Structure 1
Amino acid sequence: MVSKLRLVFFVLLMIPQGVMFWMASNSLLQGNKFFSEIEAVSLASALILVLGMPGLTVEWLVGKHIRDMGKLCGRVKQGDYSELLSLPNESTNEEDTIMILKRDMNWMARQIEFRERDLRRVVKELQESRSQMQVMAMTDPLTSIANRRCFFDTLEKHFTALLCDCHPISLLLFDVDLFKKINDTYGHQAGDKVLLKLAEIIQENTRDSDLAARIGGEEYALLLPETNSQEAAGIASRIKNLIAGHDFILDGNQQISVTVSIGICTLFQRPCCFDKEKLYNFADQALYYSKHIGRNSVSVYNPDTGLISKFA
């Protein structure tokens, strides 16, 4: 655009210069030294105007519009769509190129805003879905407490963080006594109600730092960080008695009694970092012992002696 304007200015300014030279060539002024200097200055001024005026003209005509469009681009880059370019309310066929360009830039800014808004919504939905999937992956679908995967992941974390700092960690394993008989007598739906209520009772008797989990079938686990053997046994005995004293309501308001067997193991090792798998295995041995001696009891495995004793 500037080059074309220079050509226009060159033609317009050279016409009077040519007329002046032509008129002087046929007059007494042709040999006048003073007139020759005026001609040189005039020609130099014309050349300067040819070089400078197009840029000034372009700046005068479109400079403000270009600056406005540049500011809009900067705002869009920062995610600010609150202020668009100022334009007439309605477009007309007589609009110049600059007005059309500004109107198009406003349209593009609005489209970018809409797409960013949609993208943020999609990202938020994906994040929510991801969080829900993570919760589902760590939650037992029947009881809504932690599942087996969540339990062992948490056991790994607590075992490393607590035991390797020489803090005690206790594990309680619960198993419903004669659960198969409940399913066979009253049906699996009744069995599910029993499992759901058991999870509620266990969960209601835990601290915020504890983890109750259903790790399979009628077997539950309760992980007790920074809890010694006596404290763990007291918690287990209280939960066992609450379950034994609770009337489980089935369909048709039928009531049944349920008992659980519990195995406990507490690790508090020096040197630290004892094998975490043994915590679960020792608690499982104590659970089997409770089953073997008549059920509805709490047994404790002593990792120092390898002996199992009945607590209650």
Structure 2
Amino acid sequence: MKQNLELLMEMLAALPDPVFVLSESGKYLALIGGHDARYYHDGSHLVNFSLHDVMPKARADWFLQQIQQTLEEGRLRTVEYSLGAHEIKGMELAEGPEQDIWFEGRVQPLRRPFRGERAVVWVARNITEHYNMQRQLKTLSEQDELTGAYNRRKLMEALQERVAEFHRYSHPLSLIIFDLDHFKRVNDKFGHVSGDKVLFSITTLCNKQLRQQDLLCRYGGEEFAVLLPNTNLEDAVQLAQRLRTTVGSYDFEQELGESYSITISAGVSTLTPGDDIESLIKRADSGLYQAKNSGRNCVIEKARQL
């Protein structure tokens, strides 16, 4: 019997992931496993302290909410979260990963009270490598490989979110679609490699004029779209003019080997009640078509005809 108990304790201590027993009030009641410093910090000093003793209030409140929800539902729950050693008192200098760790927490209620309180078992598995890989794959799926701008797929996803937001909260939303004038001449004269450099530089130039919330996308070929949340038509037209001026005044000598300027034509539209994604894009496209037929190097706004 004694040998079996010793074997059981040794097995528990050897668990690769840390297993916490946490009370309904947020107290650390026990901790076993998770001793590999490549993946975890030693949290043995946390036992008998509460979440609010060792964490910022907002973080402790979140963990306590997960514990209480698990107990209320009476079933296994899985949560994902990040946590760094700097957020936990007494762990700042502990051996372990330097960066914040992403965890998958598997939280299971205990059938019986432990030390007079209802409690849960919380298994914390380090998923940082998997999380970072998933984030990189998502980024790659949303970006245009050549320019680094977002791609058409990302634009359509963002449009769905922002249009729904407009219809719910009436936040203004505008769209610019612009095209590089006579870009075929660049590829024909300097080659496609040089043309690709121009597209990359234009992406960089435009991004410097945009806010963090704005979305620059390569719409196709030498055509780009800029999604502008919380922006009315007048402000969107002003931005389109700045983009036109910025690109038009830039000398592409470094990209093409000789002094060369390029202009853009743009169409601008804004979302109005009753609009959908298709109508917003269609009006911006119509403005772009009109700009090209008006001699290029200009911006045409297309308001909805009510």
**Does 2:13 align with 1:75?**
yes
For residue 141 of structure 2, what is the aligned residue in structure 1? Answer: 137
**Does 2:226 align with 1:201?**
no
Deviations 1:101-146 (Å, cap 9, x if unpaired)? xxxxxxxxxxxxxxxxxxx78x654443332221111000011110
For residue 228 of structure 1, what is the aligned residue in structure 2? Answer: 232
AA aligned opposite 1:70 = L
For residue 169 of structure 1, what is the aligned residue in structure 2? Answer: 173
**What is the deviation of 1:164?**
3.5
Aligned 8 A contact 2:163 2:276 in 1: no
SS in 1 for 2:13: helix
For residue 280 of structure 2, what is the aligned residue in structure 1? Answer: 279
For residue 154 of structure 1, what is the aligned residue in structure 2? Answer: 158
Deviations 1:176-221 (Å, cap 9, x if unpaired)? 0000111111111121111111111111111111101111100000
How many Å separate the matches in 1 of 2:199 and 2:2? Answer: 75
SS in 1 for 2:175: strand
**What is the deviation of 1:70?**
2.8
182, 188, 194: which one aligns with 2:186:
182
Aligned 8 A contact 1:162 1:225 in 2: no
With over 3 angstroms needed to count, the CA separation of the structure-2 counterparts of 1:259 and 1:251, relative to structure 1, is closer
How many Å separate the matches in 1 of 2:176 and 2:208? Answer: 15
TM-score (norm 2): 0.62
Q: Which runs of 5+ in 2 are unaligned?
A: 20-31, 36-124
With over 3 angstroms needed to count, the CA separation of the structure-2 counterparts of 1:209 and 1:251, relative to structure 1, is closer
How many Å separate the matches in 1 of 2:298 and 2:266? Answer: 6
**Does 2:222 align with 1:218?**
yes
SS in 2 for 1:214: strand
Same amino acid, percent of matched pairs: 33
Aligned 8 A contact 2:266 2:300 in 1: yes
AA aligned opposite 2:6 = D
Q: Of Structure 1 and Structure 2, which has the larger fraction of its residues in helix? A: 1
How many Å separate the matches in 2 of 1:211 and 1:186? Answer: 29
**Does 2:3 align with 1:65?**
yes
AA aligned opposite 2:277 = K
How many Å separate the matches in 2 of 1:302 and 1:66? Answer: 79
With 260-269 and 162-171 compared, the bigger mean Cα shift is at: 162-171
How many Å separate the matches in 2 of 1:163 and 1:193? Answer: 39
For residue 67 of structure 2, what is the aligned residue in structure 1? Answer: none
With over 3 angstroms needed to count, the CA separation of the structure-2 counterparts of 1:163 and 1:80, relative to structure 1, is same
TM-score (norm 1): 0.60
AA aligned opposite 1:143 = T
SS in 2 for 1:129: helix
